[in-house]
Amino acid sequence: MDVSELKKGAKIKINEHPHTVVEFQFVKPGKGQGLYKCKLKNLVTGSAFERTFRSGERLEAADVESRSYTFLFASADGYTFMDGETYEQVEVSEDIVGDGRHFLVDQLAVDLLFNDGKVIDCSLPSHVVMEITECAPGVKGDTATGATKDAAIETGHTLQVPLFIKQGERIKIDTRTGQYVERVNS
Amino acid sequence: MSGLSLAQRIAVWDVASTAVRKFFRTCGAREVSTAIRRRAPAIEPYIEPLTSEARYLATSPELAMKRLLAFGSGDIYQIAHVFRGGEAGERHRQEFHLIEWYRLGFSLEQMMGEVEQLLTHVHRALQSELPALELRPWRVGPRRRVTFMDLVRETTGFELRGDESAAELAPVLTRVRLQAESSLGLPISADADASRHSTTDGGHSPGEVERLADWTEFFSLWSHLELDPWLRQHGHEGLYVHGFPTALAALSRIRGPVAERFEFHVGDLELANGYRELACGDAQRERFARVNALRRREGRLALPLDDAFFEALRNPGLPDCAGVALGFERMLMALLGCTNVAHVVVDDECV
């Protein structure tokens, strides 16, 4: 593709690896050549770097496809997901799943990124609702102080929650930051 | 400052364009509106015209307005819709507006003065008619003028005259290329050395096309690596860079080792380009043809030559004049302190 077709999130191939364009800046003096200053992330290694392209350059699009899979279970070898239409199962290693593993609940829909047939990235929805499996008793009325306490969720992961949260309640969590968002009334 | 509301943008556009018209009415310049679709566009190394029904959409109203001047229009101005392919970003849109005007008998210095007067006038109008609007402070008075060669010396240490051959420019071009490679991650173009060996350029002496290519590359890289940071530091009030290299004269006259061309910047935001206009039809045709040779060499389409334009320069001839093109949206960005052009545009797609 022509470099002028670059968009945030575009997938391009550099040195045989797929990369995503995290962000870019187009600079051009009125009568000079334009430059595309890009922040790129290697989707296989995860490394981030900067690279500049000249306007008029041609880039190779990466063969990268995102498909929706649902989470089935975790095992010693990895995390197993299933394609809802083909029932095809795929096992993804912990380092690809990353911190998202703390928020995987049964049947959770995720987007798996395939490059040349291999899963290179797993993205969760930005919020999940999970149950508090363990925490200190709720302190009624204490909504204003902002003080927090430890709580464990279904996967065993712990995070900070407001003092009024009780064991057994369901909360919404931001999967990008790992933080408590709000209590959910079931 | 983040985006203005639609109502604010409409008010700003209305007040600013009315102020522009009032300014030129006072100067005695007449407004014109020239055709957007042309048989042949202005030919620049890195400006790509869009097309419509076998015509080119004007990337600037320059050729049309110069013909009007040749045919006796007197001082004229235009708030022109222009189109430039492949230009999109925080400061660029494919479709934007240029305030372009021409003044008979003006020197380049007089033209520079008029740019700051116009901006002052528009600022004053915005301030008095839209008092609730947050404007960037604008000092009334002349802005600093700096020569291109002084800036090259200050930022690179190299002493240039402005009319260097490709061979003479090579040391400073090499330095800038290496700098681009290390600080921008910009690989040196594979064409960089290959093009030196081409022997034909459609009848142009390879030396002249190479000189154009090298000066253009130098300017493109140096602008971003050195000029912009310098302008961010020293140009926040507005500043003129003048005395461009002769290879980058475009449609301006050459005087000694430099072109009679200036640019006006507010910080690193380029607002305007001004010339003492080249009146020689043959020289202009030669320059456009040379740019075409460069474009072809770099794998881009050559563009048709506007023979009617060159003919008008020969006969009846372009009167002695200077001209400026000032980006309307950029002017608003500078006066309002907006960093994104989308924040000033009145466009149903930007609502």
Q: Which residues pair with A78 in a beta bridge?
A: A75
Alpha helices by DSSP H, listed for chain A, are 94-97
Token reading at A11: 């997938």
For chain A, say whether B248 makes contact (Cβ under 8 Å). Answer: yes
Interface test with B, best of A28, A35, A37, A58 (most B CBs within 10 A): A28
pTM, full prediction: 0.81
Angle between helix B206-222 and B166-184 (nearest 10): 30
* A64-75 and A78-82 strand pairing: antiparallel
8 Å CB contact of B216 and A56: no
Measured between beta carbons, which residues in chain A are less than 8 angstroms from residue B300?
56
A185, pLDDT greater than 90: no
Measured between beta carbons, which residues in chain B are less than 8 angstroms from residue A56?
298-300
Whole-number pLDDT of residue B191: 52
Whole-number pLDDT of residue A137: 84
For chain A, say whether B94 makes contact (Cβ under 8 Å). Answer: no
For chain A, say whether B263 makes contact (Cβ under 8 Å). Answer: yes
Interface test with A, best of B82, B93, B212, B220 (most A CBs within 10 A): B220
Instruction: Give per-residue pLDDT as tens, A96-155.
Output: 898 899 999 999 999 999 988 889 889 999 999 999 999 988 776 656 667 889 999 999
Measured between beta carbons, which residues in chain B are less than 8 angstroms from residue A37?
184
CA distance B159 to B149: 7
A172 or B205, higher pLDDT: A172
What does B81-131 look like in DSSP terms, one character per residue? EEE-BT--SSS--SEEEEEEEEEET--HHHHHHHHHHHHHHHHHHHHHH-T
Whole-number pLDDT of residue B201: 47
Q: Which residues pair with A60 in a beta bridge?
A: A13
Interface test with B, best of A42, A54, A58 (most B CBs within 10 A): A54
A71 or B185, higher pLDDT: A71
8 Å CB contact of A54 and B263: no
8 Å CB contact of B184 and A52: yes
b/e per residue A152-182 (b: at least 16 CB within 10 A):
bbbeebebebbbebeeebebebebeeeebee
Q: How close, in Å, is residue A99 to chain B by CA atoms?
A: 31
Between chain A and chain B, how many beta carbons pairs sit less than 8 Å apart? 71
Instruction: Give per-residue pLDDT as tens, A15-69.
Output: 889 999 999 999 999 889 999 999 999 988 889 999 999 988 899 999 888 899 9
Question: Which residues does chain B have with pLDDT short of 70?
Answer: 1-3, 189-204, 350-351
Three state DSSP letters for B140-198: CCCCEEEEHHHHHHHHHCCCCCCCCCHHHHHHHHHHHHHHHHHHHCCCCCCHHHHHHHC
8 Å CB contact of A30 and B186: no
Sign (positive or negative) of CA dihedral B176, B179, B180, B186: positive
Instruction: Give per-residue pLDDT as tens, B54-104.
Output: 999 999 999 999 999 999 999 999 999 999 999 999 999 999 999 999 999
8 Å CB contact of A32 and B300: no
8 Å CB contact of A30 and B219: no
Q: Which residue in A29, A49, A52 is closest to B270 by CB distance?
A: A29
Whole-number pLDDT of residue B203: 55
Cβ(A93)–Cβ(A38) below 8 Å: no
Q: How close, in Å, is residue B16 to chain A by CA atoms?
A: 23
